[in-house]
Structure 1
Amino acid sequence: MAYVGNGHVATVIFSDFIYMNGLYNGANGTSHRARIPSTHNWQFKLESLSSSLYSLDVASASNEREPDEIWSSHVSLWNQVWLNGRIEIRDDVELQRQVNSALYYILSSLPPLSTRSEHKQFYGLSPGSLSRGGRLGEDYGGHSFWDTETWMYPSILLFYPTLAKEILSYRIALRDAAAHNAHLFGYIGWRYPWESARTGIDVTPDCCPEVRLYQMHITGDIAFAARQYIAVTRDQSWLKFEMGGDLIYETARFWASRAIYNLDRKQYEILMVLPPDEDAQPFKNNSVFTNAVASLSIQLADRVSCITEKSVPPAWLDIANNLYFPFDNVTQIHLEYENFNPKNATIKQADVVLLGFPLMWPMSKEVRRNDLLTYERLTRDDGPAMTWSMHAIGHLELKDFELAEELFRRSYETYVRPPFNVWTEARSGVGAVNFITGAGGFLQAVLFGYGGIRLTLNELEIMPPGRLPNRSTQLAFHGLKYNGATFDVMIEKEMYHVNVVALNNDNSQSMLYEHEQQRGSLRVNDTLSFRVDTRLIIHLAAPLCP
């Protein structure tokens, strides 16, 4: 069943309970969302049909408005949300419904874009949304995982950067617990827990000690989300005065304290970790994904140091530049971890393929294709929904369009349940419900796969791959945000068009574009048109740091 929510409270339709963001019962591994009895779930069984007229007076117990007034207000506020950012698909009604519902379900667990109420601290996104998780073991108890920053956050960031900032504010608010967690394991900096609720103490259930102890890539995932936020906003105030710079520096400090030097390899290693592939329990050495996010975390602290005035020690940079990455020179693939044997392995979900996207780790097209094909074969069929969206993005990069479409369809068709497009975690309908992690992965395949959008610290790149999703004839992104500018992007079969809707008048820097031999400044109402599969780069006149 569908759910309704506003980021503060949410409920599944016809449910007996309402849930509130940040309100939990139970300590440590017994934590779960607190169930608040719903006073609005009125259902009746009529024992007699002697009369066709019934009435129920609940107005005396509340200050509720008339139903028509509530409905009108609801429609008006959602229209404001869609005007702020949306995806439109022409000539594929079913895919449009999937996109709308995916965005709706994620946004319904996030704070409103505007409110007359006093601002409240946001306490995270859970894989099962704000509307579930009221029992121990149900929908991950309403806890926050890497799902938040890796799967749900990127699509929200491009349309609603203020909401992306709210997500990061949750991690900053729980910084003391992150510092304590690092100290608890003998390290320094901020180490975020695998499962987090209100306090930032690790609330992973006692059934799963391995993930509590070893699945620490989440700290790098959070730092990577901060990288994306800076790329989209250049928010110097957040870096300097709202502890964004502290988040970046202290997560980097954790990774610097976690690495050790191998004298034989003459490289640094990160040992005893659990990669995104949780089938690799209890732990492995040198998870290639973990090492990549650790390296990027340290590099980010250095890249923003001109703003934060937090100098990164040369020893940290030496670690970032010399971490060991397991690689098979014969098959030309990245190995998931040290001594990984692809001939005798299955994996749970996307792991190595995340190097190509979202991390955009440098590699040849040959290696990128080999990684995709190898790990696609090894991924078990009952894994979570979001895996296939990352494979679809990779194959769209490589122009393997038929395989990309097959994997794109696989990323949602067997995980979404009609009539309200409710997501499930696994194909068989088990796992978290409503699984907005899967919805987030699906939206990334639309934006970054078929839209061809990429972000670096200094540039926004748009390069649609030359194939539209499914039966659609046009794909449009309305309200894309980048460094104070707003763009509409319309992609057709052979051409794509970028319209400048707004520019930041407070920004003294010009917004520039580059396309092949063309260069120029952007002005409001400009429209740029280019052939698909050609690269447009948009950037501010000056880099983030000289």
Structure 2
Amino acid sequence: MTWIGSAVRARGGWLWMVLVVLAGVVVPVTLVPGMGGANDGADAEWSATSDMFAPNDFRAAPYLGNGRIGTMLPPSGGGYHDYGDTARTAFPLQQPRYTGTYLAGFYAEGGPSPQYTQVIAALPAWSGLTVGVAGQQYQADVDPAAINDYRQTLDYRTATATTQVTWTPDPEHRIRLRYDTFVSRSRPDLAVQRLTLAPDFSGDLDVTDLIDTAATRRTSPVTAFADPARQQSVAGVRADGSPDTAFVVSAVDTPQHTVAAALPATSGIRYTTPVTEGGSYTFTKYVGISSTDYGPDPQAAATTAAESGRTDGYNTAHGAHADAWDQLWQKGIEITGRDDYTQWIRAAMYSVLASVRAGDRWSVQPAGLSSDDYGGITFWDADTWIFPTLLALYPDLARTIVDFRSQALPSARANARGYGLPGALYPWNDGPAQRCASPWVCGLTEEHLHNEIALAQWQYYTATGDLEWLHSNGAPVITAIADYLTARVGPKMPDGKYHYVPAAGADEYVTLSIDNALTNGGVMNTMRIAAQAAGLAGLPVDPRWADIAANMAMPPEIAPGVPAEYLGYTGAPIKQADTVLLSYPFSYTAPGYSPVDTLHYYFDRTDPDGPNMSNAVGAILSAEYDPCLTQYYLDQSVQPYVRGPYNFQSEARGDRSGANVLGQAAWIFVTGAAGFLQGLLYAPTGLRWTDTNPRLNPMLPNGFPHGMTIHGLSVGTGTVTVRITSDTTTLTLTSGDPITFDTPAGPETVTSTRPLQIPTRSAC
């Protein structure tokens, strides 16, 4: 495929070199004879490469994921690496970073905490094939002085990491190594690593397969053993405080004449192979990973996955995996002539897609499955920042986020009952159990979350038209939230208004407030859509919903057309987008309310060192109300946060995402990547999910003079290609039924035989 645009080569300029020098290790690149070309077999337009070995830089680590399994590979190409005390994770764990493997749904009990009841557990490291010769070992903490000809490539299109290196442990032994590693998209419980060795000596060489339990976090061992006769290694763990167990099973293919021996009291097997100078030798490990979340016998499931992979072989397993990713890449965003945006888009889309899987019952966490940043807990990030991006292109993936909330509805109802309230109370931050840890966090902190959950449920219905889903899933969540909020804001006060006391919005520089504008405005929206959803689904409609929607208090203006963030707000700096969210994703209107003045007022006061989602909303709102600023906000939503060598995004421009943050900024920040993509999807198109038809009001940002194209915009059962140029926006139906859009000229329909053309607004 070539539609996304021109090649962007890996970030390898002077700034990256300086960063790696500061990290303590720089190894320049040369090509490795006989072990692949300059791009390691990957398409240079679709890959990013590190050509310097930086073992202590946690950002120089590829992320592999299939939406169920996520893993970080160290720069060496495999195994477990702890980055030490200086590189720490984000709130709430704030622990040293490491290359972890995570399985969606596998969580430990959080222990005594006022904030959450669960935190994600880390599995044993599966990816290491350690090479040994002359008493030396090539593994994650290999001596950098023994490394030459280093090159590590992450191919976004096939979600494959390739590491090539020449290792010289002593003058008599020189080995060229190549690791090819992927986590299967086609089989969710399978991961594969192939090691190819080319020695410059003759003699015996050891390769050790160890399922490394040193990498586990918040687990206790269940079993660890090896079966050399079957060339299988097995490790099982139990999540702390939980009956849930997970198993990692490895099955290895080895060259002829290899002898296998178990390592005592471990899950490791040492494979000894006689090698000849100039020869090539391949070891391939097929790893099954499963837990009790996916069946009653996870060891058997993991064993079946590993053995099935071995039966199929590397080429078949990788081919099916690459085909599954290719289907995902049929959709996307193309910006002609902007190589920087091309690479940023691909890296961002990859990090999002690697963190979600259609049909699974889990949401998406702020760091996806790349780390235990934010404890793997679900926040509003999923519903507000990640969901809209998926909804526009991948509604089947977006459904996992809204269905996570509907599956947690019994827990949310139990939470509300625990506080003597009706309806559903969702915690601000928790794992899959979605239990309230304390009234302080669950009932008093950032309750705007409920309105965003309800909005996402409604948007899924309006985008897909799936009335059956609304009846069974969406409407029960929306109406239960409305029931909770009705009790929470009632009764009506003597001024004839409903008030939210106490409350807190998205601005985390303010702990508690009265009548937070975002929260109260969101309540109005929830009450309106609850009545609509209930009516469509045949559920009871509470007459108080309409009264609250009409009489919810809002704080007074702090400037003409600009509501104060909360009652008593005096213009202090804010951490991130808060009141501006009234205009998007909500569609708040009121006499005198000015979306453009609200945009300007609050972005002038938003901390530039806050988390990187805010500017995406700035782009979407400015495209509607002040288009000259759209390109600025799009640039600011990505450029300050992208880091080499793999172009993933950090949560913050610096080490911390705000002045009051505990712990370092999250990495890899899937929330920010999705926010950036959301800006590109919704700002230029003017796309809004309305109660009738999706609305378009296109404009072309002034930094994209050659236009842009969105492939696979999904509405109902159909998809369209949207081509935006400076004068005209053209929609072409590529699959499914005709789609009607609300345009500035009124409703217009695109069919298989009639493209739709809409004038493009000027950016300035």
In the superposition, the TM-score normalised over structure 1's length comes to: 0.87
Aligned sequence identity (%):
26
Matched residue type, 1:47: P
Q: What pairs with 1:59-458 in structure 2 (closer than 5 Å)?
A: 60-61=231-232, 62=251, 63=307, 64=310, 66-83=313-330, 85-112=331-358, 121-133=360-372, 139-202=373-436, 209=440, 213-240=444-471, 242-281=472-511, 283-328=512-557, 331-342=560-571, 345-362=572-589, 367-401=594-628, 403-429=629-655, 430-458=664-692
SS in 2 for 1:267: coil
1:41-70, CA deviations, whole angstroms, 9 ceiling, x for partnerless residues?
335145334244256375933134644444
Alignment partner, residue 65 of structure 2: 5
Alpha-carbon distance in 2 for matches of 1:522, 1:124? 33
Structure 1 range deviating more: 404-413 or 511-520: 511-520
Confirm whether residue 24 of structure 1 aligns to residue 107 of structure 2.
yes
Alpha-carbon distance in 1 for matches of 2:701, 2:599? 19
CA drift of 1:23 comes to 0.6
Q: Indicate if the aligned counterparts of 2:696 and 2:742 stay in contact, CA closer than 8 A.
A: no
CA drift of 1:230 comes to 0.9
1:218-245, CA deviations, whole angstroms, 9 ceiling, x for partnerless residues?
11111010111011011111122x3322
1:296-352, CA deviations, whole angstroms, 9 ceiling, x for partnerless residues?
11211211233211121212210121101113175331111111111xx11111000
Bigger radius of gyration among the two = 2
Q: Indicate if the aligned counterparts of 1:195 and 1:203 stay in contact, CA closer than 8 A.
A: no
Matched residue type, 1:5: G
SS in 2 for 1:153: helix
CA drift of 1:10 comes to 0.6
Q: Indicate if the aligned counterparts of 2:623 and 2:683 stay in contact, CA closer than 8 A.
A: yes
Matched residue type, 1:254: Y
Flag the 1:463–1:434 CA change in 2: closer, same or farther, 3 A: same
SS in 1 for 2:390: helix
Flag the 1:456–1:495 CA change in 2: closer, same or farther, 3 A: same
Question: What is the aligned-residue RMSD (CA, Å)?
Answer: 2.4
Q: Indicate if the aligned counterparts of 1:197 and 1:203 stay in contact, CA closer than 8 A.
A: no
Give the gaps of 5 or more residues in structure 1.
Answer: 113-118, 134-138, 505-509, 535-546
Alpha-carbon distance in 2 for matches of 1:42, 1:218? 44
Flag the 1:185–1:346 CA change in 2: closer, same or farther, 3 A: farther
1:495-515, CA deviations, whole angstroms, 9 ceiling, x for partnerless residues?
1100012234xxxxx744565
Q: Indicate if the aligned counterparts of 2:365 and 2:381 stay in contact, CA closer than 8 A.
A: yes
Matched residue type, 1:475: M
Alpha-carbon distance in 2 for matches of 1:161, 1:467? 26
CA drift of 1:363 comes to 5.4
Alignment partner, residue 538 of structure 1: none
Q: Indicate if the aligned counterparts of 1:124 and 1:197 stay in contact, CA closer than 8 A.
A: no
Flag the 1:305–1:471 CA change in 2: closer, same or farther, 3 A: closer
Confirm whether residue 40 of structure 1 aligns to residue 273 of structure 2.
no
Alpha-carbon distance in 1 for matches of 2:558, 2:170? 77
- Candidates 706, 710, 721, aligned match of 1:473: 706
Structure 1 range deviating more: 408-417 or 304-313: 304-313
Matched residue type, 2:344: Q
More helix by share: 1
Which gives a bigger RCO, structure 1 or 2 (Cα 8 Å, sep 6+)?
Answer: 1
Matched residue type, 1:334: P
Flag the 1:105–1:364 CA change in 2: closer, same or farther, 3 A: farther
Flag the 1:498–1:383 CA change in 2: closer, same or farther, 3 A: same
Alignment partner, residue 56 of structure 1: 207
Q: Indicate if the aligned counterparts of 1:414 and 1:427 stay in contact, CA closer than 8 A.
A: yes
Alpha-carbon distance in 1 for matches of 2:759, 2:695? 14
SS in 2 for 1:451: coil
1:403-426, CA deviations, whole angstroms, 9 ceiling, x for partnerless residues?
332222111111111121121111
Q: Indicate if the aligned counterparts of 1:327 and 1:335 stay in contact, CA closer than 8 A.
A: yes
Flag the 1:322–1:391 CA change in 2: closer, same or farther, 3 A: same
Alpha-carbon distance in 1 for matches of 2:443, 2:475? 26
Alpha-carbon distance in 2 for matches of 1:249, 1:488? 35
Q: Indicate if the aligned counterparts of 1:181 and 1:190 stay in contact, CA closer than 8 A.
A: yes
More strand by share: 2
Flag the 1:365–1:489 CA change in 2: closer, same or farther, 3 A: farther
CA drift of 1:290 comes to 0.7
Give the gaps of 5 or more residues in structure 2.
Answer: 1-60, 81-99, 131-137, 143-167, 176-198, 200-204, 210-229, 233-250, 252-306, 656-663
CA drift of 1:150 comes to 0.4
Alpha-carbon distance in 2 for matches of 1:424, 1:467? 24
Q: Indicate if the aligned counterparts of 1:31 and 1:203 stay in contact, CA closer than 8 A.
A: no
Flag the 1:323–1:212 CA change in 2: closer, same or farther, 3 A: closer
Structure 1 range deviating more: 350-359 or 193-202: 193-202
Alpha-carbon distance in 1 for matches of 2:741, 2:527? 29
CA drift of 1:148 comes to 0.4
Flag the 1:511–1:10 CA change in 2: closer, same or farther, 3 A: closer
Structure 1 range deviating more: 522-531 or 167-176: 522-531
Structure 1 range deviating more: 283-292 or 516-525: 516-525
Alpha-carbon distance in 2 for matches of 1:465, 1:40? 46
CA drift of 1:291 comes to 1.1
Alignment partner, residue 244 of structure 2: none
